[in-house]
Amino acid sequence: MANNYLQFSFTVDLPTTEAGYRAEELASQLEDCHNERNFPGTDEPATPYDPWVIEFCERHEYVELDATVTYNDDGTACVWLKSEECHSAEQAAEYVQKLLIEFDLLPVGFTYAVTCSKMRVDEFGGGGVVVTQLNIYFKDASQWVWQTLDNLKIGKEVQ
């Protein structure tokens, strides 16, 4: 049996320690909301959920986000988003977009790898994601390869 993995690791710089606290709060609320919905009987949250958190949890059956915030001596913070096995690049991008909007940050990009524990044809890939305040752009490497090959077969030159 083979195991498939989606892996990424990137950081988002935050302008203040307060922004770091807010990033932690959002990540914690996402985890609490997920647990409350998927494991009934857990304690009620200490504070009401941010409306964005509620909407996020309604769109996703499972919350798959691993975010760690660190604080710098200069009064800034940094959130590290990572996936060693199967977290969602889409959910990470949505979380980053929330931070970009809330703190008026510049666009952020990251890449991800799709790997497999066994050598199998077409079980590997990856891609890139660019997140702005208005949009999230995904570019899948496998899709690009097959589309480029198809274009070359019909004589269409690729840029």
Q: Closest Cα to residue 5, out of 91, 63, 122, 87?
A: 87
41 — pLDDT class (breaks 50, 70, 90):
low
pLDDT score for 120: 80
Q: What token pair was written down for 3?
A: 């195991």
Contact 78, 14 (CB under 8 A): yes
Q: Give the count of beta carbons closer than 10 Å to the beta carbon of residue 95.
A: 24
76 — pLDDT class (breaks 50, 70, 90):
very high
User: Which residues, at least 6 apart from 159, have a Cβ–Cβ distance to it below 8 Å?
Assistant: none
> pLDDT of 77-126, one tens digit each?
999 999 977 778 999 999 999 999 999 999 999 999 988 888 888 778 89
Q: CA distances (Å), 32 to each of 18, 48, 76, 94, 99, in order?
A: 21, 11, 26, 17, 19
Contact 126, 114 (CB under 8 A): yes
9 — pLDDT class (breaks 50, 70, 90):
very high
- pTM of the predicted protein model: 0.85
User: pLDDT at residue 156 above 80?
Assistant: no
What mean pLDDT do residues 47-69 have?
Answer: 87
* 136 phi, psi to nearest 5 deg: -125, 120
High-pLDDT (> 70) share of the chain, %: 92
Q: What token pair was written down for 148?
A: 């480029």
